[in-house]
Structure formats: structure tokens, C-alpha cells
């Protein structure tokens, strides 16, 4: 009976999980998406106070002056993104709900997005006003090739106080950070068996019941491998590998397996898993007491965006207190410093400047990326 319940729950949430997973191969263009809902995500976070008598002011903070806001009303944001489609659908809907400005999203995986952007850029036909990526090396390449142009949102001075937020004098910014944690099937794992720290995943009782995504699948999982090696040593990876875990290529398939009870525990991207939990999957997240892995979501205005009032408002809004709070409500870690803690449902992620937040920097990616993946592959006897 329990297997039947698990299967039914997994089927009911598989569509949401598929959209939320990393490493997907598809692309899509949308003006919001069914998952975003007309309410603009107010089931995650109550709508803020919006004033438009003198520009755009949200929760007391000016997002756009009167001239920019009036011009943006008749314009449209053209957003290209490699971030998860489910979260971007919610972001698109929330932005439109708070600002009234039209926005169109084109979403595809980082490698395909980079190819398209550079192809359009080379032909002088880049349509995007804002481009968001999850790989710091891609962002650096975009900046070097003129895809990004310097821009200072109203919060620029505040953003500049933090490390790893403003790059190349404003050519691109950290919009927010992705977090990697672990979780479990709440119908299979209960009480004292619930893991609380990373070392708990190495318990022999998880033999054949642990699910992981291979470290070479994308930046977030490479970041996790780096944290495990740096914080707990290669022996920790060897312990996990000895459990003969099920290895996945994408989070979407991993989440479906966890919801069905094919695995009991798993290392997980927080944002995508939280979306699946909210959608009804029998999954619970754990924010481990010994730290979480963090990686970048980077955003820049293009030369086309520099001519677009709507694109400028989108960057301003993303880095505003309201935009950052909504990112946190979805399960990201805000990049803007000095904000009050914002829970994601029942969960509280550590702040970006906390010792518990282990950020995988661009320098780490260049220096350790290949060796970390190789170490992980050896520990898990993974050949790709």
C-alpha cells in the first residue's frame, strides 16, 4: 500500500519536478507559465505595498524614478535565462504583478544558452535585454565579449559592500545564490532516522537507498563536491561511494525517484526540491547544521537592454529588497547584504555572509573544478 501511495504522489508532482530539475535539455519561451499563477507567487510571499504616484516604489524603496517607470510601461523585458524554468516562471509572474510591466522569458540550459547568446551577439542580433546564467565562467566570457554592459541599479552602493556580488564594475551582478542540501522521503524516513548533518548520510543504513547527481552534471553539484572535499575530506566521499548510491544525471529524475520511494535520502538542490515539496511530493528538506553548499546565479544587462527601460526596471527590481525577498521565499539565498532573514516556508537558509554558507567561487571553479569532479568520479566509481 505504501508503494502505491508513493507512486501516486510522484505522478501527481512529476510535472513540477521535471520543470524544476537541473541539466534539462529543452528550451522554452513563455510570458509566465502555468506554474507561475496569476497571483504572482503570493502563495510563497504576500504581495508588498506598491506605490506608483511618483515612479515605482515597492515597500518604501524606489525601484524606478518617474521617467524610467513611465517609459517602461510601454516596453517589454526580454529575459534569457539558464536558471530553472519553474523558478523563473514564478519570478516573471511576480515581477509583472508588482510592476505591471510585460516580460518574456526564454529559458534553456547554460551550454545551449551560451551558444545562442554568442551566436546572436556575433551576428549583431542579440534580442535579450537581460541574460541570467548559473556558471561564473560563462558570465566572464559574456563580459569579455561584450554581451554584458555596465549598469548600476539604485541599490548599487549597497551591493558593492558585499563580496562576489558586483563584477567588472557592474557589467554583471549576482542576482542570488543557489543552495545545495539534502532531504528524504517523508513516508519512508521518520523520527530518529531523519539525517541532520552531512556525516549522517554516510551511515551504512542508507546502503542502496541514497541518491546523488553526478558531480560533472553542472555547477551546483560540482560546488557540492568541492564543499564535501574541502570540509569533510576525500574519505567522506569514499564513504558515500561505498554505499552504492543511485547516481543520476539530472535533479528532475532524482526527485521523481525520491518521491516514488525508489531511494530514501538524497543530496538535493534546495530551490527545485522545495518546489516539488510545495507541489505535494512526500519530500522533506534538511538544512544541515554543518553547512550548505552555495553557487551563483548571475545576471547582466546587454547593450540592447541598456536601451530598454523595462530591462533596467527588471534589474532594479531583482536587486531591490522586494525582489531579493521573493528569491528567498523560493529557496534562494539573497545576494544583497543587510536584509532581514526571510524564511522559505518552514526552512531558514543561512545568509550569504554566514560561515555556514560555503560559496563555490569563480576562482574555485577554475582552480579545482576538474580535479573535484575527478575525485568524485573515483570515489563513486563513476565513468559517465
Residue 22 C-alpha cell reads as 537541473
Phi, psi of 64 (to 5 degrees): -150, 140
**Do the beta carbons of residue 44 and residue 329 sit within 8 Å?**
yes
pLDDT (tens digit per residue) in 235-274: 999 999 999 999 999 888 999 999 999 999 999 999 989 9
Mean pLDDT score across all residues of the chain: 90
pLDDT (tens digit per residue) in 77-122: 999 999 877 789 989 999 999 999 999 999 988 889 999 999 999 9
pLDDT of 14 higher than 80: no
Rounded Cα–Cα distance for residues 246 and 240 (Å): 11
**Global confidence as pTM:** 0.85
pLDDT of 152 higher than 70: yes
Alpha helices by DSSP H, 149-285? 156-159, 219-232, 234-242, 251-260, 270-278
Higher pLDDT, 340 or 372: 372
pLDDT of 26 higher than 50: no
Rounded Cα–Cα distance for residues 352 and 337 (Å): 8
Q: What confidence score (pLDDT) does residue 362 get?
A: 85
Rounded Cα–Cα distance for residues 325 and 313 (Å): 17
Alpha helices by DSSP H, the chain? 2-20, 66-72, 85-99, 110-122, 136-144, 156-159, 219-232, 234-242, 251-260, 270-278, 303-306, 309-318, 321-330, 362-379
> Closest Cα to residue 105, out of 41, 27, 35?
27
Q: What confidence score (pLDDT) does residue 226 get?
A: 98
> Closest Cα to residue 283, out of 92, 20, 39?
20
Residue 356 C-alpha cell reads as 555556514
pLDDT (tens digit per residue) in 121-144: 999 999 999 999 988 889 999 999
Residue 219 C-alpha cell reads as 555547477
Q: What confidence score (pLDDT) does residue 384 get?
A: 75
Q: What confidence score (pLDDT) does residue 39 get?
A: 45
pLDDT (tens digit per residue) in 306-338: 999 999 999 999 999 999 999 999 999 999 999
Q: What confidence score (pLDDT) does residue 28 get?
A: 55
Rounded Cα–Cα distance for residues 348 and 286 (Å): 10
pLDDT of 15 higher than 60: no
Q: At what angle do helices 362-379 and 219-232 cross, to 10 degrees?
A: 80
pLDDT of 8 higher than 50: no
Q: Name all domains of the chain by residue range, CATH numbers in brackets.
A: 27-177+295-334 (3.40.190.10), 179-294+348-379 (3.40.190.10)
Rounded Cα–Cα distance for residues 125 and 113 (Å): 15
> Which residue is it, cell 507561475?
36
pLDDT of 30 higher than 80: no
The mean pLDDT value for 281-306 works out to 97
Q: What confidence score (pLDDT) does residue 85 get?
A: 79
Amino acid at each position: 500500500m505504501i508503494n502505491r501511495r508513493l507512486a501516486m504522489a510522484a505522478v501527481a508532482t512529476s510535472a513540477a519536478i521535471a520543470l524544476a530539475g537541473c541539466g534539462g535539455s529543452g528550451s522554452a519561451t513563455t510570458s509566465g507559465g502555468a506554474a507561475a499563477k496569476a497571483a504572482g507567487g503570493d502563495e510563497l510571499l504576500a504581495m508588498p505595498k506598491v506605490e506608483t504616484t511618483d515612479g515605482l516604489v515597492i515597500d518604501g524603496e524606489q525601484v524606478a524614478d518617474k521617467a524610467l517607470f513611465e517609459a517602461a510601461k510601454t516596453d517589454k523585458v526580454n529575459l534569457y535565462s539558464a536558471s530553472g524554468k519553474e523558478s523563473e516562471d514564478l519570478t516573471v509572474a511576480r515581477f509583472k504583478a508588482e510592476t505591471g510591466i510585460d516580460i518574456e522569458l526564454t529559458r534553456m540550459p547554460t551550454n545551449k544558452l551560451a551558444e545562442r547568446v554568442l551566436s546572436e551577439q556575433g551576428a549583431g542580433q542579440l534580442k535579450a535585454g537581460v541574460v541570467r546564467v548559473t556558471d561564473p565562467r560563462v558570465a566572464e566570457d559574456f563580459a569579455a565579449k561584450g554581451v554584458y554592459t555596465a549598469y548600476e541599479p539604485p541599490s548599487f552602493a549597497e551591493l558593492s559592500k558585499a563580496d562576489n556580488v558586483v563584477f567588472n564594475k557592474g557589467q554583471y551582478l549576482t542576482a542570488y545564490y543557489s543552495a545545495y542540501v539534502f532531504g528524504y522521503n517523508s513516508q519512508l524516513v521518520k523520527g530518529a532516522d531523519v539525517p541532520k548533518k552531512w556525516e549522517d548520510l554516510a551511515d551504512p543504513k542508507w546502503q542502496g537507498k541514497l541518491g546523488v547527481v553526478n558531480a560533472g552534471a553542472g555547477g551546483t553539484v560540482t560546488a557540492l563536491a568541492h564543499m564535501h572535499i574541502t570540509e569533510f575530506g576525500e574519505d567522506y566521499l569514499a564513504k558515500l561511494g561505498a554505499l552504492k548510491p543511485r547516481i543520476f544525471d539530472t535533479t528532475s529524475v532524482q526527485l521523481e525517484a525520491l518521491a516514488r520511494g525508489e531511494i530514501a535520502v538524497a543530496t538535493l538542490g534546495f530551490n527545485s526540491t522545495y518546489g516539488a515539496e510545495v507541489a505535494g511530493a512526500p519530500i522533506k528538506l534538511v538544512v544541515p547544521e554543518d553547512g550548505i553548499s552555495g553557487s551563483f546565479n548571475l545576471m547582466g544587462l546587454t547593450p540592447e537592454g541598456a536601451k530598454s527601460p523595462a530591462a533596467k526596471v527588471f534589474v532594479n527590481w531583482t536587486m531591490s529588497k522586494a525582489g531579493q525577498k521573493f528569491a528567498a521565499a523560493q529557496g534562494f539565498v539573497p545576494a544583497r547584504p543587510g536584509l532581514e532573514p526571510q524564511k522559505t516556508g518552514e526552512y531558514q537558509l543561512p545568509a550569504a555572509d554566514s560561515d555556514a554558507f560555503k560559496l563555490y567561487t569563480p576562482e574555485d571553479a577554475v582552480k579545482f573544478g576538474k580535479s573535484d569532479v575527478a575525485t568524485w568520479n573515483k570515489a563513486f566509481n563513476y565513468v559517465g
